[in-house]
Amino acid sequence: MDRSGQAMEHASHPGDCTGPAPDPFAPALTPSSVASRAQHPAPAALCAWRYLRLALHLLGGVLTLLLAAPFCARPTLLGLRRRWSRRLLDILGLRLQLQGAPIEPGTMLVANHISWVDIFVINAVAPSAFVSKAEVRNWPVIGWLSARSDTIFLRRGSRGHARIINAEIAALLDAGDNVAIFPEGTTTDGSHVLHFHAALLQPAIACGHAVQPLALSYRKPDGSYSRAPAYDGELTLGQCLANIVAERETVACVSAAAPIETRDGVDHRGIDRRSLAQTARATIMRSIGCTDHEAR
Read off the pLDDT band of 129 (50, 70, 90).
Answer: very high
Q: What does CATH list as the number for 39-287?
A: 3.40.1130
Instruction: Using alpha carbons, select from 64, 55, 62, 98 the residue that is nearest to residue 216.
Output: 98
% of the chain exceeding 70 in pLDDT: 80
Q: So where are the chain's domains?
A: 39-287
Residue 8: pLDDT band with limits 50, 70, 90: very low
The arithmetic mean of pLDDT across residues 203-213, rounded, is: 92
pLDDT band at 156 (very low <50, low <70, confident <90, very high): low
User: How high does pLDDT run on average in the chain?
Assistant: 82
Instruction: Tell me which of 38-42, 88-92, 210-214, 277-281 is least confident.
Output: 38-42
Give the C-alpha distances (Å, rounded to integers) separating 137 from 23, 80, 128, 150, 191: 36, 21, 17, 12, 28
pLDDT in tens, 44-53: 999 999 999 9
| Confidence at residue 238, expressed as pLDDT on a 0 to 100 scale | 93
- 83-99: average pLDDT: 97
Classify the C-alpha dihedral 170-171-174-176 as positive or negative.
negative
Half-sphere exposure of 50 toward its Cβ, with a 13 Å CA cutoff? 22
How do residues 10-69 score in pLDDT, each as one tens digit? 443 333 333 334 333 334 444 333 344 555 688 999 999 999 999 999 999 999 999 988
For residues 126-150, give the mean pLDDT: 82
State the Cα–Cα distance between residues 132 and 150, nearest whole angstrom. 11
Averaged pLDDT, 193-208: 90
Say if CB 25 and CB 14 are below 8 A apart. Answer: yes
